[in-house]
Structure 1
Amino acid sequence: MRQIAAPRLAPPLVSGGLADSVFSTALEDPRRPQFSLLRDDGPPQEVSSSRFRDEVMAVARGFLAYGVAAGDRVIVMSRTRYEWTLIAYALWTLGAEVVPVYPTSSAEQVRWILYDTDAVGVVVENEHNAMTVAAAYGARTDLTRLWELDSGGLDVLIEAGASVRDEDVHQLRASVAPWHTAVICYTSGTTGRPKGCIITHSNLASESDNLLVGWAPVLTPPGQQHSLLAFLPLAHCYGLMVVVSSVRGGINIAHQPDVSPSALLPALAAFQPTIMYAVPYIFERIFAKARVNAQDGGHTALFERAARTAIRYAASVQRHAAGEGPGPGPRMRLMHKVYDRLVYAKVRAVLGGRVRNAVSGGSPLSRDLGLFYQGCGITVYNGYGLTETAAAVTAQPLGAVRHGTVGKPLPGNAVYIADDGEIWVAGDVVFAGYLNNRKATEAVLRDGWFATGDLGHLDADGYVVITGRKKDIIITSAGKSVSPQTLEEELRAHPLISGCLVIGDNRPYVTALITLDPEALASWQVLKGRSLSAPAEAALDEELHGHIQRAVSRANSRVSRAESIRAFRILPHEFGATQGLLTPSLKVRRAAVMEAYAQDVEELYAAR
């Protein structure tokens, strides 16, 4: 099978833009809770659909008072928070274009985006971001439209717009068309200068509306309102799509700016969302945290047995659903029921206790991890997409989840596998091109298809399987092609390993750089009666090195001899976004890691 398509379930946007749904919802159901503002000193404060509409109008009037109008571009440089969403919809109301920028971006990155977009204004979160923007402007003196959220920037906008008529705003809103640009979303990329993807109102509306119709039993069940904790960065198209679809679908949204486990897990427990969108890293960390908690409580063996049972149970259910087996037997069902009370309920409690369906995107979720959550009573719908496709282009079908794949095309999309194994996609979600970069646009848009740069295949039932990224394929000096994804996923599943980068391009054999999870390492050291030490010192421990070696050997068993890891090095620190080694969507920047640890790599090969 080389090609598969799914018909639209929702009609494409024929008029208007994204902001129209804010006004229509407020008119139809003015008291409907649209947002929840989380507070440290009490329960969340509800923001109704009518209040949100009024605040959008107030901020839109303010932008208009400052001369921002249709077609203008405004940079938004902030973490995920309510004001981010409010500003985006205010700009879309005017027909202006949102340019999301990660708050961790450097002055050089901001300088490039300012130049490439010719932005007329910048909204920043805090003084640090403002200083970055100022450094990016350099000697220029025309930075007159900068609003800082933590210093009353919204109040400044609202006060400035007090004398602007609503009619002037509505007139601009009426002129917005589906094919107009809504967002210039820059690819975070693992190498090279980021490219600005032109995402239209129609792209995001098609993505959201088909998702809401196709997944209605999960996202919008009759008679109840779902709630969502939005913690993915809104500068990433995936995070932005989650919020846009939730607004269009009437899902109650709370924002959480900090995704560290110490902040995210308490927020999930307090808000108790009913559905969760995340990247594989989050699901991996939650699993690792549950395992560490079990170890600290002296229940390591219990947790490991429960995890294996969850995976086997879910795999048996999956095979049965595909007509390939009888399903779990009586003994397995009994064990699953016992472990549900002892272990699985605690895993669900970590997510707030009400999540039964979740979505993973950004990169493929490992099969075993998907099966583990399924066995715990949480169905994780793995999806696949890119910035250029306004986020997801495929996802697991409802009631037919097949872990280890990224599902089938979402309604309105098509997938084609090229001769070299590259995945091409088509549909209403495909972007309009790269800003100011015709050459790059022509290189990926081919007769209605977008060439993704990802490698994969379709299984016999039309499920998409991702096998790697074309630019990540390793070619050893012996001419052997190696896809690092299989090895890296297998090693990250080890309880002590938090990160892995497989190396071997133009080298005689494959090696790996490995990072340890500090919390899991500390727990292991306590269990072994070792004194607590940092990963750099712990790496000298022969027993620990033996554990990692066995993990490498298990990973090697999944590939050929020529593809196997011959040597590895444990690094002193985890890969971090602040060091520039991870993208904001938590993917490893391969080139940056290779540069940062060039000496370690050379020593790996010199030692052999």
Structure 2
Amino acid sequence: MNEDSRLNRIVSVPPHGGRISFARLDGTESLSLSQLHERAGRLARRLRDRGIKPGDRIGILAANCLEWVLLDLAALLLKAETAGFEPGKFDPHAGLAARYDIKLLFTDRPATAPGTVSVGEVRALSEEPEEPDADPLEPVVWGPRDVTTVKFTSGSTGPPKGLGATAGSIDGSLAAVQEIFEHSPGDDLFVFLPLSLLQQRYWIYSALAHGHDVTVTTYEAAFAALRRVQPTVVMGVPAFYETAKRQIEARLRRADGAQTPAQAARRMFGDRIRYLWTGSAPAAPATLAFFAEAGLPIYEGYGLNETCIVAKNHPGASREGSVGRVLPGKEVLLDEDGVIHVRSDHPVNDHYAYAAPGDSERVFEPGGTVRTGDLGHIDEDGFLFVRGRADDVIVLDNGKKVVVRPIEESMRSSPAVAECVLFCPAQTDLVGVVSPASLPADLDAIAAQLAATNAALAKDERISRVIVADTPFGIGNGLLTSQYKPRRAQILAVHQGAIHDSKEGIHAT
């Protein structure tokens, strides 16, 4: 990485062309990327006047908004670090700033702790005219091992772990993605997951580097905003596309043959879609097939906080069931148990910044290699397939090893099932906990899917009984992560009694 890197171009050269928009339920605010860069420069000088200097860390605890992006870009211009805190998972109290060495914490939550600043001040600071004799910002250059931001794991188990992301890892991922997708002026990338997740900020960096448009919204406003924005690319987790599929199918039923699936899908996503992007969790095959047949292909990929993006399907190189070919700058190594290890030319880091003792040693290996904990294989054409988590392999009392992910995916192929998580309370048989796709749960459809799933499995792999949750899994009740992955330990804790006590069949809680 050098001064010609994308990240260094972003901080040193004002962009030409492209716009950034912020879509809310009540409307859309838009400004050019050059205006964004100029306002971030003003904000950076105001932060400098408040004592922020290179190496200092600011915290951002707020929903997606213009102020979030301005703060992030201003920090890059100052060579200061950011820490993005996900709303709902963190609170803006004094202990947060002390624990994570935050000099200023910007938040849209009520806060009175010393060092907390309302994000409402950010807009004004970025708009105030410059003093004629104001000192210009010092030029900055990010080295490959410099940490730009602390990101946090999604927290499927235990407290979130903090990880310092290096400039080299960000730049390498931006370059690899741009090589295969060629985002350019005329593209508009649609982002709605929290900006506290670093990868969502990649698309803003991409816009600044390559002059295309980017639209930022929230999950709550995403479907309403899609109709107004007409993006070319949508970045979404599988749960988003599964919700979209159900909405499109409902429209088709109401239309009673007056619309085709392609027409209904285009009405939701717009006529400009080039492709849909997904990752973070496996997408249901039925969902992938539905959108492919509607002319809106979803390309799955694979990556972790600890590795950045590793593999990606893309136009001209896509294989059903895989997460794509391994990207330049990454190498996938499989150990004797089939566990995926990833070596990076530019590692995200070689340790956690904030974690329990021993956590770093279990994940980070010498030479920039990360033990992912995922099971997989690479086919003869170089496509990577992920079979599930090594920790989610259930060993029965007869010694049989059962990989649960394919079984869970089979259950999720039913429109009546939003999620299915398998447990083995007595090491003798499998018990599923199902989050229904709607309420009241369609118990007949769930029973039919259970029968179809079991019919395709060996005896030891069959699900003996299913618990149907009376309340679907959600982020709000702590049973899904921010990226809509099931939190197994929490699901087990909530449904432990029913898991142990139920007899064979379908049981509603």
Alpha-carbon distance change, 559 to 74 in structure 1, aligned in 2, over 3 angstroms: farther
The corresponding residue for 2:386 is 466
1:147 equivalent among 109, 117, 122: 117
Deviation, 1:604, is 2.0
The corresponding residue for 1:138 is none
1:195 equivalent among 139, 161, 175: 161
Q: Deviations over 1:51-89 (max 9, x none)?
A: 112111111112111111111111111122222111101
**Which of the two has higher C-alpha Rg?**
1
CA contact (8 A) 2:107 2:117 kept: yes
Q: Deviations over 1:69-118 (max 9, x none)?
A: 111111111122222111101011111111111101144x9777544421
CA contact (8 A) 2:252 2:260 kept: no
Question: Highest relative contact order (Cα 8 Å, sep 6+), 1 or 2?
Answer: 1
Query: Does 1:572 find its partner at 2:492?
Result: no
In 2, the alpha carbon distance for the partners of 1:498 and 1:345 equals 25
Deviation, 1:514, is 1.2
Alpha-carbon distance change, 244 to 604 in structure 1, aligned in 2, over 3 angstroms: farther
CA contact (8 A) 2:311 2:325 kept: yes
Deviation, 1:342, is 2.1
The corresponding residue for 2:235 is 277
TM-score of the superposed pair, with normalisation by structure 2: 0.91
List alignment gaps of at least 5 residues for structure 2.
Answer: none
Query: Does 1:178 find its partner at 2:154?
Result: no
The corresponding residue for 1:366 is 284
In 2, the alpha carbon distance for the partners of 1:377 and 1:567 equals 38
CA contact (8 A) 1:33 1:46 kept: no
2:370 equivalent among 438, 450, 474: 450
Deviation, 1:407, is 0.5
Letter in 1 for 2:269: L
Query: Does 1:33 find its partner at 2:18?
Result: yes
- How many residues of Structure 1 are paired with residues of Structure 2 in the alignment? 503
Q: Deviations over 1:220-251 (max 9, x none)?
A: 2xxx4201221011112332323323332222
RMSD of Structure 2 on Structure 1 (CA): 2.7
SS in 1 for 2:243: helix
Letter in 2 for 1:423: I
CA contact (8 A) 1:184 1:197 kept: yes
The corresponding residue for 2:452 is 554
Letter in 2 for 1:460: E
Alpha-carbon distance change, 478 to 346 in structure 1, aligned in 2, over 3 angstroms: same
Which runs of structure 2 are paired with 1:411-560 in the superposition (5 Å)? Answer: 411-432=328-349, 433-435=351-353, 439-448=358-367, 449-518=369-438, 534-535=439-440, 544-560=442-458
Query: Does 1:105 find its partner at 2:89?
Result: yes
In 1, the alpha carbon distance for the partners of 2:26 and 2:246 equals 30
Structure having the higher helix fraction is 1
Q: Deviations over 1:468-490 (max 9, x none)?
A: 01222223344332222112222
List alignment gaps of at least 5 residues for structure 1.
Answer: 1-11, 135-142, 303-340, 519-533
The corresponding residue for 1:204 is 170
Relative to structure 2, which stretch is displaced further, 497-506 or 92-101? 497-506
**Identity across aligned pairs (percent)?**
25
Letter in 2 for 1:182: T
Which runs of structure 2 are paired with 1:239-254 in the superposition (5 Å)? Answer: 239-254=200-215
Q: Deviations over 1:430-450 (max 9, x none)?
A: 311211558433332323221
CA contact (8 A) 1:364 1:384 kept: no
Alpha-carbon distance change, 607 to 280 in structure 1, aligned in 2, over 3 angstroms: closer
CA contact (8 A) 2:279 2:302 kept: yes
In 1, the alpha carbon distance for the partners of 2:464 and 2:81 equals 50
In 1, the alpha carbon distance for the partners of 2:402 and 2:10 equals 47
SS in 2 for 1:388: coil
SS in 2 for 1:371: helix
In 1, the alpha carbon distance for the partners of 2:8 and 2:109 equals 26
The corresponding residue for 2:223 is 265
